[in-house]
Structure 1
């Protein structure tokens, strides 16, 4: 074969490879921008509401359930006028103005536009939305509920306020790249996500619809990969990126190793109490979950709260990732002494606490989570359970970060994670230092 012939064949081969690459990129882009999928199962939700006033009222309820104000209302600002910061590893995004102002809000949007945003993650002009807006979960919201939400938002006072531009690092600020992310990690849904058996009970189906749709619980209770997409199925727990907290497992069944890292010891009534009241016999909401209760789940109807609880109780066992390294004897002795000085008066000698004022530490899912982050944060910074209608003046825990050094905090957290049946491993001073 002559050199000229070889070069000609090599050029043709390279051309074919480039064409295949372009075709593959084009296919990914198409997959990431196409719109497919219908509604979530009608059996999971109520029928559309014909009366306009009732539709607005139900939309207000759904907005509370989804805690929409958390991302679309800045502290001290007008409701739903945008500006709340959403920290991520890729930069900071800001919730936009969703009041009915025609210039700076969504006043020019149609009901179809609103549905498109929730179901397909696209703006009216086809602009791809960043998944910090959890359309990856909201895609399961039915059209009837989307229309109710839209009706409620249209009933709000219009606020003329420009949405704050996102502050993202390169290349994440290149919005067209979202098409490739969507091709890999997003599908418009017709059925709820995996992680539990098909719901045949109407109450559990409703709970699944709320947990996996407007509640978007997976946003905090599942791990994420390097591209910010939730990995795996169900709600096995995971680090809440950008916030420094850990969302514990919400699976009810014991893990294959016999441990109970999630809600195995909770009844459905216990779970419903935490959602509505912020406290239960097994613990109280803190950190990001306290904000969720304050702005959202405390307004759940008793029926919906129990439906969500029953669905969570139906989730199968989930294994805890990683190995547990128990702390040394000296660390436990030091932690026991510190616990007796600073903690026992409220949390009691056997970690049973005095619910609902002071939560139990024995079997507490945040204490026994694979990550000690939540326990460290509470010891350092203290905090209050959320104020709710059922618990308007919650008891608080004082901060001990100014009293205890890193070794002290590591010792006392190691102690509570390994007493009274807890088996969650030790904590290092370096982990405490990072949390500070």
Structure 2
């Protein structure tokens, strides 16, 4: 009897010891095939120029440039539910940047999520999407970064809670949620569709925002653009697969291109994080790439929105909201929510008003916002912030009125919802 019990216990102890050894054992750099051909020093101008374009496509500067800091020198803090991750220095400084890196090291970081020394990288750096970037594009990106002026700026240590700051926790996370992959072209689709899929699913890393995340901060392994809250940014990235949220399936190709290039079209405008994406990335892309992205996004299988009819606000709240709307909102958005073409966005028929999650509407009322300044939208008119002038109850009332009037049955908003956004 004792021997029968001892054998499973011994096996469990051996398994625990093996697991502990695997978790604690230093991770060696993954072997990768060398770049072919090897990059010249200095890299050809055409390769550097191509890399600069790809850096725009990936919006790399948005994370790796601190406000007021040198381009790509890192230091910007990225808040996550597990603590703050600080973006690294991508300039070719030998001591604090990637000056001693090779093209193989850089490819390993993008494709495998692993640093030059074998250290596992945190997925706030979206290698979960960048793993689909082709080797030749990774080499061009590296050539561009190596052409930048070196900036001596030490990388800030991440400020993460235990156990998330440990390499052991990252090993477990990767074992559960990450497998290096490649972009597989769909032979049944056009070259333009495949180019758009490559940009959206790879360098564009759209899934990093437009996908739901589980309790461990991971998105689905397969591409999923069904929408999700952006952790700690207090913005909801609406579904690109639902025409009633942010899907482009019912738009023309020209309208979709205009939104990506100019930040606004006849059907809507980009605000918040997406306005930053347009300003830093998509407005700089070639027309052919914008049309490829539009082709892919318009072809996404349309998913119906599972919307539960919200509980209506009381007559007293709606009356209060109507008065506040007339006082603060009607002069720009119109008495009937019609807006003013080319100036102020309409609320009637606006998909953001009808979203089941009112986060974006509340964020705009509290903090205001601007569409991006682009060649096609050179002098955008902004939404002023009302967070200082209106109470939580006031904002909840006016939001409830707008959603009741033009939100296709969207439910009431409570003062607690406003407090969460603040």
Question: TM-score, structure 2 length as denominator?
Answer: 0.89
Secondary structure at the aligned position of 2:84 is classed as strand
CA deviations 1:162-191 (Å, max 9, x no partner) are 111111111111123211111111111123
Partner of 2:75: 83
Q: Distance in 1 between matches of 2:313 and 2:232?
A: 31
Distance 1:332-1:233 versus aligned 2 partners, 3 A rule: farther
Partner of 2:238: 248
Partner of 2:213: 224
Residue 21 (structure 1) shift: 4.8
Report the more deviating stretch, 275-284 or 219-228.
Answer: 275-284
Distance 1:53-1:223 versus aligned 2 partners, 3 A rule: same
Verify the 8 A CA contact 1:276 1:298 in the aligned structure 2.
yes
Q: For this pair of structures, how many residues does the alignment match?
A: 410
Where structure 2 has 5 or more consecutive residues not aligned to the other structure, the ranges are 34-42
Q: Distance in 1 between matches of 2:256 and 2:325?
A: 28
Partner of 2:37: none
Residue 296 (structure 1) shift: 1.2
Matched, 1:14 2:6: no
Verify the 8 A CA contact 2:241 2:301 in the aligned structure 1.
yes
Matched, 1:431 2:420: no
Matched, 1:95 2:87: yes
Q: Distance in 1 between matches of 2:271 and 2:210?
A: 14
Alignment of 1:200-279 (within 5 A): 200-231=189-220, 233-253=223-243, 262-279=247-264
CA RMSD of aligned residues (A): 2.6
Matched, 1:302 2:287: yes
CA deviations 1:370-402 (Å, max 9, x no partner) are 311111011111122111232222111111122
Secondary structure at the aligned position of 2:85 is classed as strand
Where structure 1 has 5 or more consecutive residues not aligned to the other structure, the ranges are 1-5, 39-50, 254-258
Q: Distance in 2 between matches of 1:101 and 1:261?
A: 41
Residue 34 (structure 1) shift: 9.3
Question: TM-score, structure 1 length as denominator?
Answer: 0.87
CA deviations 1:226-282 (Å, max 9, x no partner) are 1100147521111000211110111155xxxxx666434433322221221112222
Distance 1:261-1:142 versus aligned 2 partners, 3 A rule: closer
Q: Distance in 1 between matches of 2:152 and 2:226?
A: 42
Segments of 4+ moved more than 4 angstroms: 20-30, 32-38
Q: Distance in 2 between matches of 1:186 and 1:28?
A: 16
CA deviations 1:192-229 (Å, max 9, x no partner) are 69xxx876111111111111111111111111111100
Residue 360 (structure 1) shift: 2.4
Distance 1:337-1:212 versus aligned 2 partners, 3 A rule: same
Distance 1:70-1:261 versus aligned 2 partners, 3 A rule: closer
Q: Distance in 2 between matches of 1:264 and 1:427?
A: 29
Matched, 1:314 2:303: no
